[in-house]
């Protein structure tokens, strides 16, 4: 773990272990590399991921709260990183690359701006910390993977630009029926509000005109918006898991590594007890990760809206740790831009589940098993209120949890 007081210059010029010269394949978020012939490409891919670390000297959280998250915000920062990766895939594409010093695309600036350490940014440390109060976590308290997943789900609702559907799969089970309910909005719901556009804003047409398209709106913006709403919303799927007692069960190691090989991979948030990392891939028996345990000064956007972004990209060789050192409490993430992506993900997961070489980490089912509590009972909505009870299954600091059966 990096010392929390390291400066950015230390990060740039300090001593970091070079990437290994190995014939073992390197996998980073669904992309395959060779460490022997593509080292520059590996480093470019890693440095293109948004890297969020501890910050200091930002606005007090809640007006009177902490001005730094050093020592307690590592899982919050990892949550930011896994969601930022989803936004990059959503707006820029997985193969987008960051180049230092170049003026960046408008979409990139919008993504990064959503995570700046200010109270009015969608996914700022301020928003995550304050939303966590509703999950039973006081400001300044360490989060577990499940808590940060639930908070991100709530915050994503206010992000009208990205229009993500964030689903947190509980009880080690991904229910396709529940996911299909989340990204869709029935046509009938839209048709009963003839004077609203897709964002809920009043349509400018004074009365219906059958010659001008659906509900009297102009063919174009409103009609296109209706189509987008009826069809698939880009899906962020987060699955909190417990893969052992005090240590990760070896039976799950190959399955975990295979998750990084899927084209829909967003990575894994987890780490060691009370020390979180954002895992983005693996080589051999080592996991590749971004480490948030470095304190940097909070950044302010310039007068023209540009964000000084050097400190938001890891420009040294990525950190690595043996997979056996991983704390068993994790959350694994996936991103499906289209419904076809989700269907492909389901096919790949089912194929992985049939493998005799690795034990499945979670179950994929078409509909909710009858012996499970209903979603209404658990209230698995953006106003989720039962997380305290469920949190004990997934947070490392609790001694009571559910273990995946062998």
Helix (H), strand (E) at residue 193 = none
291 included as an active-site residue: yes
Of 45, 69, 74, 222, catalytic: 74
Q: What is the pLDDT of residue 351?
A: 92
Q: What are phi and psi of 42, to 5 degrees?
A: -65, -50
Q: What is the pLDDT of residue 371?
A: 61
> Burial code of 348-361, b = ≥16 C-beta within 10 A, e = fewer?
bbeebeeeeebbbb
316 included as an active-site residue: no
Q: Which residues, 6+ apart, have CB-to-CB distance to 370 below 8 Å?
A: none
Domain residues of the chain, as ranges?
8-183+233-391, 187-229
Q: What is the pLDDT of residue 135?
A: 87
Q: Which residues pair with 174 in a beta bridge?
A: 364
Q: What is the pTM of this model?
A: 0.80
Query: Which residue has 């994790």 as its token pair?
Result: 330
Of 45, 69, 197, 291, catalytic: 291
Of 126, 167, 277, 293, catalytic: 293
Q: At what angle do helices 106-113 and 74-91 cross, to 10 degrees?
A: 160
* Residue 270 CA: distances (Å) to CA of 74, 229, 388: 10, 33, 19
Q: Which residues, 6+ apart, have CB-to-CB distance to 184 below 8 Å?
A: 230, 231, 232, 233
How many CA atoms lie within 13 Å of 91's alpha carbon, on the beta-carbon side? 17
pLDDT along the chain (406 residues), means of 10: 38 57 94 94 96 96 94 96 98 95 89 94 96 91 93 95 95 92 50 32 37 39 48 92 92 95 97 90 96 95 83 91 95 96 96 84 88 45 37 39 38
293 included as an active-site residue: yes
């Amino acid at each position: 773990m990096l010392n929390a007081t390291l400066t950015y210059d230390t990060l740039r010029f300090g001593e970091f272990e070079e990437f290994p010269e190995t014939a073992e394949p390197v996998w980073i978020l669904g992309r395959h590399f060779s460490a022997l012939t593509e080292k520059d490409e590996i480093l470019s891919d890693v440095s293109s991921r948004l890297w969020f670390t501890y910050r200091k000297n930002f606005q007090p959280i809640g007006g009177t709260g902490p001005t730094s998250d050093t020592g307690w915000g590592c899982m919050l920062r990892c949550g930011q990183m896994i969601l930022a990766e989803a936004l990059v895939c959503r707006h820029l594409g997985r193969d987008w690359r960051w180049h230092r010093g170049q003026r960046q695309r408008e979409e990139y600036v919008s993504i990064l701006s959503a995570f700046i350490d200010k109270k009015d940014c969608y996914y700022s440390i301020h928003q995550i910390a304050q939303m966590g109060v509703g999950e039973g976590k006081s400001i300044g308290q360490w989060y577990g993977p499940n808590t940060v997943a639930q908070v991100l789900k709530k915050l994503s609702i206010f992000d009208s630009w990205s229009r993500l559907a964030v689903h947190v799969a509980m009880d080690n089970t991904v229910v396709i029926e529940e996911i299909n309910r989340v990204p869709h909005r029935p046509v009938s719901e839209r048709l009963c509000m003839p004077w609203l556009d897709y964002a809920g804003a009043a349509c400018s047409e004074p009365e219906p005109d059958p010659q001008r398209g659906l509900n009297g709106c102009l063919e174009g913006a409103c009609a296109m918006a209706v189509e987008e709403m009826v069809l698939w919303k880009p899906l962020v799927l987060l699955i909190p898991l417990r893969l052992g007692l005090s240590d990760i069960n070896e039976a799950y190691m190959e399955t975990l590594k295979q998750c990084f090989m899927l084209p829909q991979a967003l990575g894994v948030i987890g780490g060691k007890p009370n020390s979180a990392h954002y895992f983005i891939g693996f080589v051999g028996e080592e996991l590749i990760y971004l480490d948030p345990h470095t304190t940097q000064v909070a950044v302010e956007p310039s007068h023209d809206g540009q964000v000084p972004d050097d400190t938001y990209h890891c420009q040294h060789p990525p950190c690595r740790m043996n997979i056996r050192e991983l704390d068993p409490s994790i959350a694994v993430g996936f991103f499906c831009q289209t419904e076809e992506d989700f269907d492909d993900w389901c096919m790949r997961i089912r194929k992985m589940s049939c493998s005799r070489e690795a034990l499945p980490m979670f179950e994929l089912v078409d509909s909710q098993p009858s012996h499970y509590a209903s979603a209404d009972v658990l209230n698995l909505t953006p106003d989720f209120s039962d997380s305290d009870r469920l949190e004990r299954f997934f947070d490392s600091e609790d001694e009571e949890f559910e273990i995946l059966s062998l």
